[in-house]
Amino acid sequence: MQATTIIAAKRDNKPLSTSQINWFVQHYTQGDIPDYQASALLMAIYLNGMTRSETFDLTMALANSGDRIDLNDITDFAVDKHSSGGVGDKTSLVVLPLVAAMGVPVAKMSGRGLGFTGGTLDKLESIPGFNINLTPTQFKAQAQQTGLVLAGQTGDLAPADGKLYALRDVTATVESIPLIASSIMSKKIAGGAKGIVLDVKTGAGAFMKTLDDARQLAQIMVAIGEDGGTELDVTAVISDMNQPLGQAVGNAIELREALDTLRGGGPPAFREHCILIARHMMMLAGRGQQWTEEEATSDALEAQLDNGAALTKFREMVVAQGGDPAVVDDPTQLEIAPVQHVLAAAADSYVARIAADEVGVAAMRLGAGRPTKDVAIDHSVGLTVHVNVGEKVTQGQPLVTIHAHADSRVTECINALEAAIDLSQDAVKPLPLFYDVIQEA
Catalytic, 17? Answer no
Q: Which is catalytic among the residues 81, 123, 168, 409?
A: 168
CA geometry: angle 19, 25, 28, nearest 5 deg: 130
Q: Are 59 and 26 in contact (CB under 8 A)?
A: no
Active-site residue (options: 183, 239, 349, 380)? 183
Q: H or E segment at 246?
A: none
DSSP state letters, 89-151: --HHHHHHHHHHHTT--EEEEE----BTSPPHHHHHTTSTT------HHHHHHHHHHHSEEEE
| Active-site residue, selected from the candidate residues 81, 82, 90, 403 | 82
Q: Is 81 a catalytic residue?
A: no
The residues with which 85 forms a beta bridge, in sequence order, are: none
C-beta atoms surrounding 130 within 10 Å = 19
Find, among 157, 236, 216, the residue nearest to 189 by Cα.
Answer: 157
Active-site residue flag, 67:
no
β-strand 421-424 against 79-83: which pairing, if any?
A: unpaired
How far, in Å, are 316, 395, 421, 433 from residue 389 at the CA level? 37, 16, 9, 11
How many Å apart are CA 127 and CA 105, to the nearest integer?
22
Given 187, 271, 280, 315, which residue is catalytic? 187
CB–CB of 113/316 below 8 Å?
no
Q: Residues 161, 199, 233, 260: which is the catalytic one?
A: 161
Cα torsion angle, 96, 97, 101, 105, sign:
positive
Query: Catalytic: 161?
Result: yes
Residues 6+ apart with CB under 8 A from 208: 84, 200, 201, 202, 214, 217
Task: Judge whether 168 counts as a catalytic residue.
Answer: yes
CB contact at 8 A, 339 and 401: no
Q: Which of 187, 208, 205, 204 is nearest to 196 (CA)?
A: 187
DSSP secondary structure of 146-199: HSEEEEE--SSBSHHHHHHHHHHHHTT-TT-HHHHHHHHHHHHHHTT-SEEEEE
Relative to beta strand 195-202, strand 392-393 is: unpaired
The residues assigned a catalytic role are 82, 161, 168, 183, 187
